[in-house]
């Protein structure tokens, strides 16, 4: 009998019991999944992106199914930071996995104020800065497609917080390594990639876009090969750890990301298909390692043979 494999990882100063996290916006504020998932088994919990003020998001329809994926243009609907602290945090702080708060702003100062507020919250282990949302008119992706803007916003956030700081990048760029370098130089502890790909779908009978916002973000299995390529490119040049995101539905998908160089993964759209997919992936990774007598997940990270 082989030993139970060691699934622990460190993502830039934040130790995790296993490398499977929930992707922002696909797991609510975790309580929504309480009856479906043993939340304490997760590597870490990342909640829906928060802004300073409550946000209604875009008008419907905001979601459309596409082959092997989905389009969304939610527009970052969320309760706002204060309601999060008062209404969501009391439950979240009863859980054992580290809590990572995803933040989004229209202006650089919004990010600073959010980071300053979160710095005071003992129950929050870290911040994931979303500079990659394709579905909002101002801010969001604008910071994530320009290396100088990315550097500037992340440096400003870094000055406000000593907590773990991940930066979530957009795939809607021609050179992902340029943006990765900029946020690393600005003080990011970790790089999360990818957010959704800018995309659209049309109803040919009405000749109208399927989303009221016209364009949206593509996620799910359709984007996995793109995400994997970007994780591989960034992991090769970055000094900080990378978290892989994009179309992960199974343990095998997650394992591809580890081999490409990811130190952890986030599971997004798959939660809508199978609400306990995160647990299935953790169990599947453990079995893969045990079956092959691989003692620890860290032996697999970046082990791609070329």
Ligand X SMILES: Cc1cc2nc3c(=O)[nH]c(=O)nc-3n(C[C@H](O)[C@H](O)[C@H](O)COP(=O)(O)O)c2cc1C
Instruction: Say whether residue 172 binds ligand X (CB under 6 A).
Output: no
Residue whose beta carbon is closest to ligand X: 25
With contacts defined by CB under 6 A, name the span among 72-80, 105-113, 140-148, 200-208 that binds ligand X: 72-80
199 binds ligand X (CB under 6 A): no
* Residue linked to tokens 């507020």: 117
Instruction: Please check whether residue 19 is in contact with residue 248, taking contact to mean a CB–CB distance below 8 angstroms.
Output: no
Among 246, 251, 260, 278, binds ligand X (CB under 6 A): 246
Q: How many residues contact ligand X, by CB under 6 A?
A: 25
Residues 6+ apart with CB under 8 A from 227: 171, 193, 194, 244, 245, 246, 247, 257
Q: Work out how close the CB of 3 gets to ligand X at its nearest, in angstroms, rounded to a whole number.
A: 31
Q: Which CB atom, from 5 or from 157, has the smaller least distance to ligand X?
A: 157
Asked if 102 touches ligand X (CB under 6 A), the answer is yes
Q: For residue 9, which phi and psi values (nearest 5 degrees)?
A: -140, 165
230 belongs to the binding site for ligand X (CB under 6 A): no
| Contact present, 200 and 216 (Cβ < 8 Å) | yes
Give the integer Cα–Cα distance in Å for 28 and 114: 19
Q: Is 49 in the site for ligand X (CB under 6 A)?
A: yes
Q: Which stretch binds ligand X (CB under 6 A): 80-88, 152-160, 246-254, 280-288?
A: 246-254
Nearest to 115 by CA among 146, 173, 156, 85: 156
Rounded to a whole number of angstroms, the minimum distance from the CB of residue 98 to ligand X is: 17
| Residues between 106 and 165 with contacts to ligand X, criterion CB under 6 A | 130
Residues 6+ apart with CB under 8 A from 65: 71
Is residue 170 a contact residue for ligand X (CB under 6 A)?
no
The least CB distance from residue 111 to ligand X, in Å, is 13
Establish if 167 lies at the interface with ligand X (CB under 6 A).
no
Which region, judged by CB under 6 A, interacts with ligand X, from 203-211, 216-224, 231-239, 252-260?
A: 216-224
How near is the Cβ of 291 to ligand X at its closest, in Å? 25
CA-to-CA separations, 164 to 85, 194, 301, in angstroms, rounded: 18, 19, 21
The neighbour count for residue 70, using CB atoms within 10 Å, is: 21
Q: Give me the residue label for tokens 């602290």.
A: 85
- Is residue 68 part of the annotated active site? The answer reads no
Measured between alpha carbons, how far is 267 from 270 in angstroms, rounded to an integer? 6
**Inter-residue contact 78 to 50 (CB < 8 Å):** yes
Residue 239 CB, nearest approach to ligand X (Å)? 23
Residue 223 contacts residue 69 (beta carbons within 8 Å): yes
Give least dist CB 174 to ligand X, A: 19
Catalytic residues: 133
- Interacting residues toward ligand X by CB under 6 A: 23-26, 48-49, 72, 74, 76, 102, 130, 168, 195-196, 219-220, 223, 245-248, 267-270
């Amino acid at each position: 009998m082989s030993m139970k494999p060691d699934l622990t990882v460190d993502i830039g100063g934040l130790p995790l019991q296993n490398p499977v996290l929930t992707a922002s916006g696909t797991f609510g504020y975790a309580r929504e999944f309480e009856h479906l998932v043993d939340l304490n088994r997760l590597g870490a919990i990342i909640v829906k992106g928060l802004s300073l003020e409550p946000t209604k998001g875009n008008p419907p329809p905001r979601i459309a199914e596409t082959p092997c994926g989905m389009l969304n243009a939610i527009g970052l609907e969320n309760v706002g930071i204060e309601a999060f602290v008062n209404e969501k945090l009391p439950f979240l702080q009863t859980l054992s996995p580290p809590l990572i708060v995803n933040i989004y702003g229209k202006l650089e100062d919004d990010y600073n104020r959010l980071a300053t507020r979160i710095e005071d919250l003992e129950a929050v282990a870290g911040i994931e800065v979303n500079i990659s949302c394709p579905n909002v008119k101002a801010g969001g992706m604008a910071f994530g497609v320009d290396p100088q803007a990315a550097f500037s916003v992340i440096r400003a956030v870094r000055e406000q917080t000593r907590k773990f700081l991940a930066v979530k990048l957009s795939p809607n760029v021609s050179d992902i390594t340029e943006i990765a370098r900029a946020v690393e130089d600005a003080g990011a502890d970790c790089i999360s990639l990818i957010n959704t790909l800018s995309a659209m779908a049309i109803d040919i009978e009405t000749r109208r876009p399927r989303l009221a916002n016209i364009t949206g973000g593509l996620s799910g299995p359709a984007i996995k090969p793109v995400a994997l390529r970007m994780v591989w490119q960034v992991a090769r040049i970055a000094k900080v750890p990378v978290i892989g995101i994009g179309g992960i539905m199974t343990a095998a998908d997650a394992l591809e990301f580890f081999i490409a160089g990811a130190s952890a993964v986030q599971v997004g759209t798959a939660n809508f298909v199978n609400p306990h997919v995160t647990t299935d992936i953790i169990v599947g990774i453990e079995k893969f390692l045990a079956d092959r007598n691989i003692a620890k997940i860290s032996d697999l990270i970046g082990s791609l043979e070329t």
